[in-house]
């Protein structure tokens, strides 16, 4: 196959901008998702009346619907009831809505994996519920949760590929435009795949390294 | 608050059309899961073989789908198959192809995991009891493998149903596309319709996926350690 290298080099800045958009979007929404996940999983752990049920409903709703539909609802549906957001804000809200529930589940399963005897020991030396969470549960739960938190981060990074559907100039949109305007299909698609490899592969390798470390810390092998 | 908008869902044949669109989504997921499972079982078996080269190739195949977003694969297939093969391939066929290959990779991994986690003594105990190899599979290996595979496979099915919503972006006429058509047609008569139509599609997806993920959780509880 003969590739038009000049065309590819000329399009690099466009892909660069789109990658930067993806990185910002992923970073902000992963950060927000982590905060939501930590907060909500603690609410679930303390079984706060009223709120716990609402959080469980949110988790199920968010996990069982596609991001594309969530984004369309936020972007096209909500302005009709007077809630208008910019494309970028909309993407952040959508990604956080989706990511928050995945992170909540990851933290929750980490908290549940902390042994019952740990809780009882903490209570028996007179720790308050807050102290118990702060000194006993969270440090252990975080270590246990790291692999699934990382997997969720990668999942969210990949999900950013959908934001082009609400008119953000992301990698998918750049590739589609280039194909539409110049018919350089192979070149545009190759750059698209390379861009995602460049974004996701380092994170994926980092995650498997961290996972090995965590396993070592947990089981010593 | 939105006034006079929800009736757009029940105007004319809109309701049936949206459900029909959902059916396209379900059809694509269903076919892909069937084809993916058949291919995936073969792939999972191959991945337990000793050949290093074979393992590497299949591992790379799996990682390719894990690292590159499915939407990118849909684009690649959509923009390159028809010109490359010189035949007209519909968006739906493209989608089924991509989802089947993705499913095969993931199911392959689930099958491999199930096979590798099977303790050796299970086979040995069976043989010691004098079971024939047919009986060994029938009473010992397959029931245990299915238990290990079912929760993950159903989870994958949920993910697939959700991900098939993306096929609208390569021009397949499914539930989201039909929703867009309804909104465009009624833009003057029912200006608030996008709130209700997208809200309804949102709920439709939930109604399909929620039972699946509940089922997967139940199996996990029932058979988990």
Give tens-digit pLDDT for B72-100.
999 999 988 877 777 788 899 999 999 99
| Closest chain B CA to residue A80 | B192
User: According to the model, what pLDDT value does residue B42 have?
Assistant: 94
Q: Say if CB B82 and CB B88 are below 8 A apart.
A: yes
- Could you report the per-residue pLDDT of B135-193, keeping only the tens digit for each? 988 888 888 888 889 989 999 999 999 999 999 999 899 999 999 998 888 777 777 88
Mean pLDDT over the full length of chain A: 91
User: According to the model, what pLDDT value does residue A192 have?
Assistant: 95
How many residues are there in chain A?
Answer: 221
Of B5, B202, B209, nearest to A73 by CB-CB distance is B202
Complex ipTM, two decimals?
0.88
Does any domain span residue A145? Answer: yes
- Could you report the per-residue pLDDT of A99-111, keeping only the tens digit for each? 999 999 999 999 9
- Could you report the per-residue pLDDT of B115-141, keeping only the tens digit for each? 888 888 888 899 899 998 889 888 888
User: According to the model, what pLDDT value does residue A217 have?
Assistant: 66
Does any domain span residue A72? Answer: yes
* B7-224 to CATH, choices 1.20.59.10, 3.40.50.920, 1.10.3720.10, 3.40.430.10: 1.10.3720.10
Domain ranges of chain B: 7-224
Average pLDDT over residues A190-212: 92
User: According to the model, what pLDDT value does residue B61 have?
Assistant: 95
Average pLDDT over residues A106-129: 90
| Closest chain A CA to residue B208 | A64
Q: How far is B69 from chain A (nearest CA, A)?
A: 5
Q: Say if CB A163 and CB A71 are below 8 A apart.
A: yes
Q: How far is A45 from chain B (nearest CA, A)?
A: 19
Average pLDDT over residues B7-16: 81
Put simply, the answer to whether A81 touches B69 (Cβ < 8 Å) is: no
Maximum Cα–Cα distance for chain A, whole Å?
73
Average pLDDT over residues A22-40: 96
User: According to the model, what pLDDT value does residue A91 have?
Assistant: 96
Q: Which residue has the higher pLDDT, B86 or A167?
A: A167
Is residue B225's pLDDT more than 70? no
User: According to the model, what pLDDT value does residue A219 have?
Assistant: 59
Confidence of residue A1 (pLDDT cuts 50, 70, 90): low
User: According to the model, what pLDDT value does residue B1 have?
Assistant: 47
Q: Say if CB B181 and CB B194 are below 8 A apart.
A: no
- Could you report the per-residue pLDDT of B32-51, keeping only the tens digit for each? 999 999 999 999 999 988 88
Does any domain span residue A221? Answer: no
Put simply, the answer to whether B210 touches A189 (Cβ < 8 Å) is: no
Please give the tally of structural domains in chain A: 1
**Touching check for A88 and chain B: CB below 8 Å?**
no
Is residue A133's pLDDT more than 60? yes
| Closest chain A CA to residue B213 | A64
Put simply, the answer to whether A185 touches B206 (Cβ < 8 Å) is: no
User: According to the model, what pLDDT value does residue B2 have?
Assistant: 47
Whichever domain contains A102, its CATH number is 1.10.3720.10
Residue A78 structural domain: 5-215
Does any domain span residue A220? Answer: no
Is residue A92's pLDDT more than 70? yes
Is residue B3's pLDDT more than 60? no
Confidence of residue A201 (pLDDT cuts 50, 70, 90): very high
Of A80, A172, A197, nearest to B67 by CB-CB distance is A197
Q: Say if CB A66 and CB B162 are below 8 A apart.
A: yes
User: According to the model, what pLDDT value does residue A84 have?
Assistant: 87
Put simply, the answer to whether A68 touches B166 (Cβ < 8 Å) is: yes
Q: Residues of B with CB below 8 A from A176's CB? A: 75
Tokens of B131: 């079971």
């Amino acid at each position: 196959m003969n590739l038009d290298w000049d065309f590819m080099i000329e399009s690099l800045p466009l892909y660069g901008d789109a990658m930067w958009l993806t990185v910002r979007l992923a970073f902000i929404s992963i950060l927000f998702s982590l905060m939501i996940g930590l907060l909500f999983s603690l609410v679930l752990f303390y079984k706060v009346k009223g709120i716990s049920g609402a959080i469980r409903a949110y988790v199920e709703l968010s996990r069982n619907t596609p991001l594309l539909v969530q984004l369309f609802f936020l972007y096209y549906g909500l302005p009709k009831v007077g809630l208008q957001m910019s494309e970028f804000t909309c993407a952040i809200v959508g990604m956080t809505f989706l990511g928050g529930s995945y992170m909540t589940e990851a933290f929750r399963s980490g908290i549940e994996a902390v042994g019952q005897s740990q809780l009882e020991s903490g209570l028996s030396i007179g720790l308050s519920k807050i102290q118990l969470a702060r000194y006993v549960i969270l440090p252990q739960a975080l270590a246990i949760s790291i692999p699934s938190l990382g997997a969720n981060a990668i999942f969210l990074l990949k999900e950013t590929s959908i934001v082009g559907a609400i008119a953000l100039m992301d990698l998918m949109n750049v590739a589609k435009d280039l194909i539409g305007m110049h018919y350089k299909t192979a070149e545009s698609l190759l750059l698209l795949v390379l861009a995602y490899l460049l974004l996701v592969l380092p994170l994926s390798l980092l995650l498997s390294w961290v996972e090995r470390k965590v396993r070592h810390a947990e089981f010593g092998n | 608050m939105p006034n006079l908008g929800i009736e757009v869902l029940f105007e004319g044949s809109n309701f049936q059309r949206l459900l029909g669109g959902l059916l396209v989504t379900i059809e694509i997921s269903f076919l892909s899961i069937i084809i993916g499972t058949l291919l995936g079982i073969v792939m999972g078996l191959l991945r337990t073989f000793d050949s290093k080269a074979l393992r590497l190739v299949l591992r790379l195949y799996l990682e390719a789908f894990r690292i590159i977003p499915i939407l990118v694969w849909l684009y690649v297939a959509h923009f390159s198959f028809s010109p490359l093969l010189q035949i007209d391939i519909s968006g739906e066929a493209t989608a089924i192809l991509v989802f089947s290959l993705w499913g095969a990779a993931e199911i392959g991994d689930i099958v491999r995991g199930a096979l590798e986690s099977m303790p050796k003594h299970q086979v040995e105990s069976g043989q010691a009891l004098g079971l024939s190899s047919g009986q060994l599979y029938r009473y010992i290996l397959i029931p245990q493998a299915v238990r290990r595979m079912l929760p993950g496979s159903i989870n994958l099915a949920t993910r697939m149903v959700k991900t098939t919503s993306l096929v609208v972006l390569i021009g397949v006429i499914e539930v989201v596309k039909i929703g867009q058509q309804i909104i465009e047609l009624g833009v003057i008569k029912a200006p608030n319709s996008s709130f209700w139509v997208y809200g309804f599609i949102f709920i439709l997806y939930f109604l399909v996926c929620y039972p699946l993920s509940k089922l997967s959780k139940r199996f996990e509880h029932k058979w988990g350690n």
